[in-house]
C-alpha cells in the first residue's frame, strides 16, 4: 500500500463496471454483494442508481472477478436480476476494499 492507504496497481488484476437491472434495490443487493466481494478479495464499489439499477465497479484477480460476476447475475435471495451489462476495463488500482458508494 502507498502512504495514503491505497493499494498499488497489481500485476494480473482485471476490472469491470457493470449495471445490474431487475428487482435489485430494497432487497439487500448491495449488502450481499459486499459480503461476496469480501469473500473473493474483490475491490471497488457498488451503488444504487436513480433509475432503479445497481452500478458496480470491481477489480481483482480475473478468476475471482468471474465468480463475482456470476454472483451478480444471480443476486441475493430476495432479488431478481433481469440483466447484467458489463464493460471490461483496466484496473485503476485505487481501491483498498469493496464498499457501498452512497454518492
Catalytic (active-site) positions: 30, 48
- Write phi, then psi, for 90 (nearest 5 degrees): -70, 145
Instruction: DSSP for 24-69, please give it.
Output: -SSSSHHHHHHHHHHHHT-EEEEEE-TTS-EEEEEEE-HHHHHHHH
Distance CA 80, CA 93 (A): 31
3-state secondary structure of 74: helix
Amino acid at each position: 500500500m502507498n502512504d495514503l492507504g491505497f493499494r498499488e496497481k497489481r500485476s494480473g488484476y482485471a476490472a469491470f463496471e457493470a449495471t445490474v437491472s431487475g428487482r435489485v434495490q430494497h432487497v439487500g443487493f448491495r449488502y450481499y454483494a459486499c459480503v461476496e466481494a469480501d469473500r473473493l478479495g474483490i475491490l471497488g464499489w457498488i451503488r444504487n442508481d436513480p433509475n432503479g439499477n445497481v452500478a458496480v465497479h470491481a477489480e481483482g484477480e480475473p478468476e475471482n472477478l468471474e465468480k463475482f460476476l456470476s454472483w451478480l447475475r444471480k443476486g441475493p435471495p430476495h432479488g431478481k436480476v433481469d440483466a447484467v451489462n458489463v464493460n471490461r476495463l483496466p484496473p485503476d488500482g485505487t481501491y483498498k476494499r469493496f464498499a457501498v458508494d452512497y454518492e
